[in-house]
Amino acid sequence: MSHDLQDKVIVITGAGGGMGLATCKMLAARGAKISMSGLRPQPLQDLAAEIEASGGQAMAQRVDVRDDAQVNDWIAQTVARFGKLDGAVNLAGAIPSSFFADTVENHGNGTWEHIIATNLTGTMYCMRAQLKNMRDGGSIITCGSTASVQGEPGCSAYVAAKHGVVGLTKSAAKEVGPTRNIRVNCIAP
């Protein structure tokens, strides 16, 4: 695999499993220095050790993206260790335990608030901290969903949050793309 990301510093949220874990491995294999976060420390520490054992550089920190102070601390520690921030992949997210059963009519406030706080507000907290620490251009990737553009019955909080991520991403791209050479894009798996 090419090392086209050699010495680029990239932060990844939601790195404890799934897409986040796979993204960390792929970026590290391409030479990036990885700072990963998630809610479960052990998978993060295991992955950081695996990356470092293969000759890469990685750090792991437990971060709840719903907590602005934790997000800011993680990004500050990343910059302190690696000296800069070049990119971000914001994959942290939550889905309701009763996916496809939470209609607008019967949605509980707690579920709604948790999904919006994690998927939308958490993405904004991360993006804000990342932008404040990107100096010479960069790239931020957020995670929407196909549901964010077409809607899905029974998962209104998730759809609303992911639709918000799409709008947040478009606005940020227009704010920082032309003036700071920072690309901001949203994937929709």
Residues acting as catalytic residues: 158, 162
- The DSSP result for 22-78, as a single string, is HHHHHHHHTT-EEEEEES-HHHHHHHHHHHHHTT--EEEEE--TT-HHHHHHHHHHH
Q: Which amino acid is at 48?
A: A
> What separation, in Å, do the N-terminal and C-terminal C-alpha atoms of the chain show?
24
Q: How many whole angstroms separate alpha carbon 151 and alpha carbon 163?
A: 9
Q: How many whole angstroms separate alpha carbon 87 and alpha carbon 52?
A: 19
Cβ atoms < 10 Å from Cβ of 32: 25
Residue 82 in 3-state DSSP? helix
Q: Taking phi first (over 0 means left), then psi (-120 to 50 degrees means alpha), and beta for anything else, what does residue 154 get?
A: left
Contacts of 41 (CB under 8 A, 6+ apart): 60, 62
